[in-house]
Each structure stands twice: as C-alpha cells, then as structure tokens.
Amino acid sequence: MTIDRREFIIIGATVAAGTALSAVTPALSHTVAGNQSPLDVPPSAASGKNQWGMVIDIAKCTADCTACTDACRKENNVPLFGDPKRDIHWIRKLTIRQKGVPNATERYLPAMCFHCEHPPCAHVCPVAATFRRKDGIVLVDKHRCIGCRYCMVACPYKARSFVSQHVEAGPDANPNAPIRMHGVVEKCDFCVHRIDAGKEPACVEACRQAGNGAMVFGNFGDPDGEISRIVATGEAEQLRADLGTNPRVFYTHL
Amino acid sequence: MEIKFSRIEVDSKKYLAFMTAIGLVAALAPASAICLFLEGHRVTNMTNQVPWGMPIVMAIYLIGASAGSLVLSAMSSVFGRVEFKPFARMAATLAAILIVAALASIILDWGRPDRLMIPFFHFQPRSVFSLNAILYSSYMLLCLVYLWAMFNGKKHLERLLGLTAVFLAVLVHSGTGAIFGFVYVRELYGSPLLPPSFIAAALSSGTALMIIILYYTFRLSGRYLDPRLLTSLGKLMGVFIIVVLYFLFVENVTRAYAPANYEESSFLLLHGGKYTALFWIGLVGLGMIVPMIVGLNQRLSRNIPLLLGASVLQLAGVLIELFIIVIPAQVFPVELFHDQEVSSVFLDGQFADYSVSLIEWTYSAGMMGAVVFLFALVIRLWPMVPTEARHLEPEEELAAEKVEEAAV
C-alpha cells in the first residue's frame, strides 16, 4: 500500500482530531460524572492531591453478611476454583476472637489490600510490577509481573493471591475489570477503574446498600473529609501498625 | 610442581550409558517445567499460603553449592593453599554449572518464565531479587573468565580474578540469604544472621560436594587421587560445619528469647511435627554433627567410604537446612493481630500444610541430574581433571618447585 500526500494529510488530520477528542472527552465526563460522584472528588488522572483510603467500623460488620466479598467477586471477576488453598481473594471476611479469654465474642471485619504508604510488596518486587500510584493506590502491572511470588511472602496482610491456573472470563464477566492472566500475582486495587470514573469501590457501595454502612471510602488528602475526621479522633487503628507500613485502611471499634 | 590436565579418557560405551541414564534424569527438569508453565502452579503443592516450595529451596541450594565451590577453587591461588591446586579448575567449572542450574531453577519456577527478559529492563533497587539478578549474572560471567585465565596460564590474572571470585561469591550468597533475612514481617525469616549463615552452609556443602566429585571423577576415569587430599577437605568441612552450627544456635536462641516469638520458635523447635523432626534429626544430628565428627576426627576421616558417607549426609543436611528456613516460615500463619485468634475462608490463622509434590521432586532431581550431566560432559570435552592428584604439604610443594627451578 502506498500513501500519497493527500491521503497522508487526511490520515494525519483524523489522528490529530481523534487525539484532541479523547483529550476533551475525560474533561466532559468530568463535569457530568463529577456531580453524581459519591466520592465527591472529580474523576481525573491519578494525582497526589487525592490520597485514597478507607475506615471500617467493625461494630457495624455483621455475622452473616457477605455483601462486600460478593460484590468484589462480581465487580472484578474474581473466580473461585473450589480449592480453598488456591482460591483468589481480593477481600475476605475475618472472624476474630480475643486470645486467651474464655467465651470471647466473635467479631467480624473485612480485610483487603491496605494500600500501605510503605508497601513491602512493592519494595521486594524485582521488576517494579507492583507500584504505588500518586494517589496512594498500590497496583500490580499484570503484564510485567514475572510470577516470582516474593510479594506474597513479604505482604504482612496476606492480601495477595497467585493465579495458579487458567481462567476464562465468563459471559457475565464485567468488561471494565482487567482480564485475568495465569502465573501472575494479583490483589485488591481499590476498584481503581471505578475510582477513575468517580465511583467508590464496589465493596463499600455493597456494604452501604446492604444497610450496614461499615465501610467508608474517602480521601485522606482532604483534611476535612469524613475519613480524615474519623482518623483524627485517634480511635481508628491500623493492623500491625508496629511494622511501620502505614496502611491506608483503618478500623474503628477493633 | 606442575600439574598436568587432560580430558578424561573412558570406555565410550560405559560413558554413553552413564550419560544416557543421567541425561534422562536431567530431562525431568525441562519436562516438569513445561508442565508447570502449561498447567499453572496448581500441579504443585505451592499455594497462596505457601507460595515458595521445593524449586526455590533447590535454587538457593545450588547457588550455595556454587559459591562454596568457587571459594574452594580460589583457595590455592588466593589463600596459598597449594594442596588444593589440583581441583581448582574442576571446582570453578562446577561453580559455573551450578549457578546456571540455580538460575534455571528460579526462572522456570516463575509463573511467567516467558518474561525472562523483564528483570533486565525493569530494575527495582530496593528489591533483593532485583539486585541478585545483577549479582548472579555477573557472577556467572566471572566464573567463565576465571576459568579462561586458569586455562591460559595467566597466573596474575588468575590470582586477581580468584580474589574477585571470593568476594563476589560471598556477596552473591549473602544476597540469597538476604532474600529471606529482609522479610521482616515473618518472624521465622527476618534475621540479620541469615546472610552469614548462608555463606557458612555454602562453604560446608561446597566442600562436601567437592569430596564426592573428586572421588568419583578420579575413580571412574581411573586416575590416581591421593586420599590425603580428601582427608584434608574433610577437616575443612568439619570446621565449616562448626560455623554453620554456631550461626544456627545464635539465630534460634535469639529468636526464642523474645516472648513475642514463643509460638514461632516452639513451632520450629518443639512441636512442629515433621519440621521439628527434620530440624533435630535431619539437620542438626545427621546433617551436621555426624559429618562434623567424621571430618574432624583424623582416624575416621582416613576411612574414605566413611568420609564419602559423611559428605553425602552434609549435602543432605544443608538441603534440609534450607528447607527448614524456607518452608516453616510460610506454614506458620501470618500474624494479622497480636492479640486475636483469626479465621477466614482464605485460611487466615491456620497452619498451612505443605509437602513436596511429585512434580516438585522431579523438577529438583532433574536440576541435580543436569548438573552431573553437564559436569561429566565438560570434563570429557576439555582438560579439567589432573592426570594425577598428589597431596603436597606447602613445604613439600616449595621443595618441589626449587627442584624444578634447578632443573631449568
């Protein structure tokens, strides 16, 4: 195929127009979705102004509810293989009981990737496939991960799962979630595709819709925001704060 | 005294039969690796609780044996241990082969070995793995240049490269220890003692391997090997084992001292079932103390079959040590809370169960087979093995050199 000058100009103009349009489109959706955003932060490219995080009130987490974990599986197409040792979990519900106390009450809390400020997983990743975005979200580049699993060994919160077999995306799969690839490690990404579209993570939405409202997602970059105010009271705790990883997920009534 | 090297001349039918047999064992490695890649890690017993299994144990074992071999190879040129000169070439060859097998063990165990080149383009300076990728590759290169210098009689270069080799071998295997030592979130890993401990184990297992390799290479090729050479290596092995045991003792006592670590320590040392048994019987008893006694006792170490047996025990002992370092730290549940019992569908708070699966065994056996295969091939193709290996004390060596000089 040969291209003469006229065609070249047409193609060039088309590409240029497309680029310009795609640059404008996010700005448009910005204003439209901005008003409806439950995050109350206009969607935009990851910026250091937003520091996403979460506060979970475990007093509101109930025994028989699995709304958050179910919603996560659906939103991110997280499969169950029927093999508890190899099932992939982006979020799981923990049952805890005070050690050494007879008849201690059972309490419940969801746990996911805590998007640490100093993520051990990202520190050990030999190819920087795990990285921390400007807005504090710790992500895994599935196309770069070599599957060495060092991050799984280094994560203090057991937030990571290895895809140890092939997974086909079913017909009901959410097309917005990333495609799954065998031989790589994955974990909760705070529903980054939803955040970038101005929506809060699926688990938080499901928890509220289930009537519990135990999970609050927000922006630590905003000192007057809800999660900042809760953490400022000094009543919110991080898991294994002694490790110095500074997780972005806090718990109250722990 | 000038040492003459030549290619081994053996009965070609026997050699072919040997190579076919060991080649079949070696073929298990690529076969297992292909199966792993096509089917995913579900064919192994590695899980989300125990992401690192036998292939990783085998990889760090081979790295250790390589580092130990390279240091032994440099003993004569760097530390003036002239009595070890006869096997300098063989040891350096073995070091090069072992590091190749070790790298293969690591890479083929990745979930995506097809992304082999990514670590060369994406660097993460905080990652011990990333640093090791550079260390291991330069180490492999150094082995080859060092061998070249030895072959071409470049004495000064050989000494310089030998010194560099010792330095780099220590660095490389410290890096291997640091892979685990830096994991501060697991009490059974995080320890500043792991890098030096790994070095000690590399030296003891490298020496044990050299005893076995020397004995069988000379015997099967019908050449003379002075038994005093083996006995003196046995003594060296015994000394190295003392260092290994010392590090093991300090590390475990320090850990067990802190009340916060009572559960971890008692799991490993008292009631961890097979891990506790492996620790005391496999590692401390048979793997270390028995070969240490045989190696250090002059009367026992002169008994060559006994010394060979002790060397095999030591090789197994270091493999068990690395298994005991890599696996129980993952079997012990991650501590999300200091004060809460925890459970979940993700098996939080539960002790994981891990046993080496068949495919992990074939993978590991194949890697070992590949090492033997390549070594047997190299000594057939190039003059690596001395025509005879006499053990000379440094004074005798000096006298022999003087006689030679006088003759010239």
At B374, is the pLDDT very low, low, confident or very high (cuts 50, 70, 90)? very high
Domain boundaries, chain A: 1-36, 52-252
B225 and B219 Cβ atoms separated by less than 8 Å: yes
Could A127 and B183 be called an inter-chain contact, meaning their C-beta atoms sit closer than 8 Å?
no
Residue B339: list chain A partners with CB under 8 A. Answer: 98-99
* Most A CBs within 10 Å, among B39, B44, B105, B112, to test the A interface: B112
At A23, is the pLDDT very low, low, confident or very high (cuts 50, 70, 90)? very low
User: What is the residue-wise DSSP string for B390-407?
Assistant: ----HHHHHHHHHHHHHH
pLDDT in tens, B295-314: 999 999 999 999 999 999 99
At B104, is the pLDDT very low, low, confident or very high (cuts 50, 70, 90)? very high
B46 and B32 Cβ atoms separated by less than 8 Å: no
User: What is the residue-wise DSSP string for A148-208?
Assistant: --HHHHH-TT---EE--S--PPPTT--TTSPPP-TTSEE---TTHHHHTTT---HHHHHHH
Flag whether B227 is in a domain: yes
* Most A CBs within 10 Å, among B36, B47, B109, B180, to test the A interface: B47
Nearest residue in chain A measured CA to CA from B114 = A146
CATH of the domain at B34: 1.20.1630.10
Flag whether B10 is in a domain: no
- Whether residue A253 is predicted with pLDDT greater than 80 in this model: the reply is yes
Rounded CA-CA distance B138/B134 in Å is 6
* Most A CBs within 10 Å, among B35, B115, B134, to test the A interface: B115
Could B185 and A154 be called an inter-chain contact, meaning their C-beta atoms sit closer than 8 Å?
yes
Nearest residue in chain A measured CA to CA from B185 = A156
* Most B CBs within 10 Å, among A88, A153, A162, A246, to test the B interface: A153
Flag whether B404 is in a domain: no
The Cα angle at residue A74 between residues A70 and A80, in degrees rounded to 5: 75
B158 and B146 Cβ atoms separated by less than 8 Å: yes
Could B51 and A93 be called an inter-chain contact, meaning their C-beta atoms sit closer than 8 Å?
no
Q: How many CB atoms lie within 10 A of CB A171?
A: 5
Distance from CA of B205 to the nearest CA of A (A): 26
pLDDT in tens, A34-88: 334 566 655 556 788 999 999 999 999 999 999 999 999 999 999 999 999 999 9
Could B185 and A155 be called an inter-chain contact, meaning their C-beta atoms sit closer than 8 Å?
yes
Determine the pLDDT at residue A212.
Answer: 96
Determine the pLDDT at residue A48.
Answer: 86
Residue A243: list chain B partners with CB under 8 A. Answer: 184-185
Tokens of B99: 């590091």
Q: At residue A183, what is the residue type?
A: G
Q: CA of B234: how far to CAs of A85, A177, A249, in Å?
A: 44, 60, 56
- Whether residue A198 is predicted with pLDDT greater than 80 in this model: the reply is yes
Q: CA of B221: how far to CAs of B9, B83, B374, B379, in Å?
A: 7, 21, 16, 10
Pick from A128, A157, A243: CB nearest B124:
A128
Q: At residue B77, what is the residue type?
A: S
Interface A-B, measured as beta-carbon pairs within 8 A, has a size of: 172
Q: In terms of residue numbers, what domain contains B113?
A: 17-336+347-387
Flag whether B152 is in a domain: yes
Could A86 and B47 be called an inter-chain contact, meaning their C-beta atoms sit closer than 8 Å?
yes
Residue A164: list chain B partners with CB under 8 A. Answer: 40-42, 46-47, 111
Rounded CA-CA distance B200/B187 in Å is 22
Q: In sequence order, which residues have a C-beta less than 8 Å from that of residue A107 and are 6 or more positions away?
A: A58, A61, A95, A96, A97
Residue B127: list chain A partners with CB under 8 A. Answer: 123-126, 128, 150
pLDDT in tens, A105-149: 999 999 999 999 999 999 999 999 999 999 999 999 999 999 999
pLDDT in tens, B331-369: 999 999 999 999 999 999 999 999 999 999 999 999 999
Could A85 and B347 be called an inter-chain contact, meaning their C-beta atoms sit closer than 8 Å?
yes
Q: Assign A110 to helix, strand or coil.
A: strand
Residue B106: list chain A partners with CB under 8 A. Answer: 148
Determine the pLDDT at residue A32.
Answer: 36
Nearest residue in chain A measured CA to CA from B190 = A154
Could B122 and A83 be called an inter-chain contact, meaning their C-beta atoms sit closer than 8 Å?
no
B188 and B329 Cβ atoms separated by less than 8 Å: yes
Query: How many domains would you assign to chain B?
Result: 1
Paired strand residues for B73: none
Rounded CA-CA distance B312/B291 in Å is 9
Residue B59: list chain A partners with CB under 8 A. Answer: none
Q: How many CB atoms lie within 10 A of CB A37?
A: 16
At B142, is the pLDDT very low, low, confident or very high (cuts 50, 70, 90)? very high
Rounded CA-CA distance B26/B159 in Å is 34
Q: Which of B62, B52, B70, B51 is nearest to B29 (CA)?
A: B62
Determine the pLDDT at residue A169.
Answer: 80
Distance from CA of B133 to the nearest CA of A (A): 8
Distance from CA of B380 to the nearest CA of A (A): 36
> Where is pLDDT greater, at B30 or A35?
B30
pLDDT in tens, B248-262: 999 999 999 999 999
User: What is the residue-wise DSSP string for B234-267?
Assistant: HHHHHHHHHHHHHHHHHHHHHHHHSGGGHHHHHH
* Most A CBs within 10 Å, among B41, B105, B327, B339, to test the A interface: B41
Residue B38: list chain A partners with CB under 8 A. Answer: none
Determine the pLDDT at residue B111.
Answer: 96
Q: Tokens 């077999």: give the residue.
A: A165
Residue A240: list chain B partners with CB under 8 A. Answer: 185, 335-337
Residue B39: list chain A partners with CB under 8 A. Answer: 165
Q: A52-252 architecture in CATH? A: 2-Layer Sandwich (3.30)
Q: What share of chain B is helix, strand, coil (3-state, %, to 5)?
A: 75, 5, 25
Sign of the torsion formed by the C-alpha atoms of B160, B163, B169 and B171: negative
Determine the pLDDT at residue A153.
Answer: 97
Q: Which of B253, B255, B67 is nearest to B177 (CA)?
A: B67
Nearest residue in chain B measured CA to CA from A149 = B51
A108 and A93 Cβ atoms separated by less than 8 Å: yes
